Amino acid sequence: MANIIGNTSDRWETHTAMLVEPLSTNDPEVYDIIKKEKSRQRLGLELIASENFASRAVLEALGSCMNNKYSEGYPGQRYYGGTEFVDELERLCQKRALDLYNLDPEKWGVNVQPYSGSPANFAVYTALVEPHGRIMGLDLPDGGHLTHGFMTEKKKISATSIFFESMPYKILSSSAKVKSRVRSTDPKTGKEIMYNLESLINQAVFPGLQGGPHNHAIAGVAVALKQAMTAEFKLYQKQIVANCKALSSALVNLGYKIVTGGSDNHLILVDLRNQGTDGGRAEKVLEKCAIACNKNTCPGDKSALRPSGLRLGTPALTSRGFQEEHFRTVAAFIHRGIQITLEIQRDIGAKASLKEFKERMMTDKDYQSKIRQLKEEVEMFASKFPIPGLADL
Residue 75's pLDDT is 97
pLDDT class of 293 with cuts at 50, 70, 90: very high
The pLDDT value recorded for residue 49 is 96
Who wins on pLDDT, 197 or 11? Answer: 197
The three-class DSSP label of residue 169 is strand
Are 66-175+197-228 and 231-382 in the same CATH fold? Answer: no
**Does the pLDDT value for residue 325 go beyond 70?**
yes
Q: Phi-psi category of 182—alpha, beta or left, where left has phi over 0 and alpha has psi -120 to 50?
A: beta
What is the pLDDT, as a whole number, of residue 154? 82
Phi, then psi, of 36 in degrees rounded to 5 = -65, -40
Tell me how far CA of residue 160 lies from CA of 154, 304, 387, in angstroms: 16, 17, 37
Q: Tell me: the pLDDT tens digits for 113-168?
A: 999 999 999 999 999 999 999 988 888 777 788 888 877 778 888 888 888 888 88
pTM comes to 0.89
* Other residues' Cβ atoms within 10 Å of the Cβ of residue 178: 10
The residue type at 106: E
pLDDT number for residue 194: 67
Residue 329 has pLDDT above 70, yes or no: yes
Contacts of 46 (CB under 8 A, 6+ apart): 53, 292, 316, 317
User: Which element (helix H / strand E) includes 12?
Assistant: helix 2-20
The Cα 48–Cα 305 span in angstroms is: 19
- pLDDT band for position 183 (cuts 50, 70, 90): low
* Beta-strand relationship, 165-166 and 134-135: parallel
Which CATH architecture does the domain made up of 66-175+197-228 adopt? 3-Layer(aba) Sandwich (3.40)
In the predicted model, is pLDDT for residue 29 greater than 90? yes
**pLDDT surpasses 80 at 188:** no
User: In the chain, what are the domain boundaries?
Assistant: 66-175+197-228, 231-382
Q: Is the pLDDT of residue 246 over 80?
A: yes
Q: Residue range 241-268: average pLDDT?
A: 97
CA distance 115 to 210: 8
Lowest-pLDDT choice from 142-146, 169-173, 333-337 = 169-173
d(CA 217, CA 112): 9
Q: Domain 231-382 falls in which CATH fold?
A: Aspartate Aminotransferase, domain 1 (3.90.1150)
Whether 42 contacts 327, CB under 8 Å? no
- Rounded distance, CA 246 to CA 223, Å? 30
Q: SS3 of 268, please?
A: strand
Report pLDDT for 178. Answer: 54
Q: How far is CA 302 from CA 102, 142, 308, in A?
A: 41, 11, 10
- The yes-or-no verdict on residue 171 having pLDDT over 70 is yes
* Interval 39-98: pLDDT, tens: 999 999 999 999 999 999 999 999 999 999 999 999 999 999 999 999 999 999 999 999
Per-residue pLDDT at 1 exceeds 60: no
> Quick check: 2 pLDDT over 60?
no
CA distance 240 to 267: 9
